[in-house]
């Protein structure tokens, strides 16, 4: 007897292999897409922070930057010792991924472009750096921003670590 074509078993095996390969590809694509989204958000926040720092230095006008959950905003102010502005944002964005911090959710760049790390009435450049971390945390992703008095850096938060400079590996 001459057989032309494939048996039903052979077709089922090929379909099962194809489904497995497609499922693995979809899982990898999902992870890659999430990583790209988180890293894109962190890099955009970094760019916005550097822009606010540059504007404060160039215009000799303080810039408050606030992050609260999924809200990111930049405000202009004459000094850093005033209460945090709540209206008239220069830049306002809704973030896709929530952000947590190690202390306060706002910073102020003074007229010299230096971050006020202590309190609103003094600019003490020796204080503990602030950290903003994007959730969900994955140690393979660039998920964190560390803000020192004179520099802003991007890094990876260690798995299970609190959003603190000691747990962030600067890239």
- Tell me the per-residue pLDDT of 78-100, one tens digit each, with 9 for 90 and over: 888 878 888 889 999 999 999 98
Instruction: For residue 41, give the CATH number of its domain.
Output: 3.55.40.10
CB environment 26-63: b (16+ within 10 A), e (fewer): eeeeeeeeeeeebeebbeebbebbeebbebbbeeeebb
pLDDT at 72 over 90: yes
Tokens 């962190």 locate to 42
Within-domain flag for 8: no
Within-domain flag for 27: no
User: Can you say whether the dihedral through the CA atoms of 163, 168, 170, 171 is positive or negative?
Assistant: negative
Within-domain flag for 97: yes
Where in the sequence is the domain holding 98, given as residue range(s)? 35-170
Burial class (CB in 10 A: 0-12, 13-18, 19+), 134: buried
Within-domain flag for 3: no
pLDDT in tens, 33-45: 988 999 999 999 9
Query: Among 54, 58, 95, 52, which residue's Cα sits nearest to residue 76?
Result: 52
C-beta neighbour count of 122 within 10 angstroms:
11
How many domains does one find in the chain?
Answer: 1
Query: Among 98, 108, 93, 105, which residue's Cα sits nearest to residue 143?
Result: 98
H helix count then E strand count, the chain: 1, 7
For the entire predicted model, the pTM comes to 0.82
Confidence of residue 120 (pLDDT cuts 50, 70, 90): very low
Within-domain flag for 17: no
Within-domain flag for 29: no
Within-domain flag for 130: yes
CB 107 within 8 A of CB 130: yes
Give the C-alpha separation, 100 to 171, whole Å: 19
Within-domain flag for 1: no
């Amino acid at each position: 007897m001459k057989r032309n074509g494939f048996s039903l078993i052979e077709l089922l095996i090929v379909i099962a292999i194809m489904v497995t390969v497609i499922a693995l590809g979809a899982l990898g694509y999902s992870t890659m897409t999430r990583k790209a989204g988180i890293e894109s958000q962190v890099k955009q926040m970094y760019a916005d922070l550097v822009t606010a720092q540059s504007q404060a230095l160039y215009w000799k006008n303080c810039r408050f930057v606030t992050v609260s959950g999924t809200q990111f905003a930049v405000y202009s102010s004459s000094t850093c010792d005033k209460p945090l502005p709540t209206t008239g944002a220069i830049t306002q964005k809704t973030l896709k991924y929530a952000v947590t911090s190690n202390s306060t959710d706002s910073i102020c760049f003074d007229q010299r472009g230096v971050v006020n790390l202590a309190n609103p009435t003094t600019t003490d450049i020796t204080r503990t750096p602030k950290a903003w971390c994007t959730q969900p945390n994955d140690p393979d992703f660039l998920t964190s921003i560390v803000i020192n008095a004179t520099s802003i850096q991007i890094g990876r938060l260690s798995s299970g670590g609190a959003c603190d400079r000691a747990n962030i590996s600067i890239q």
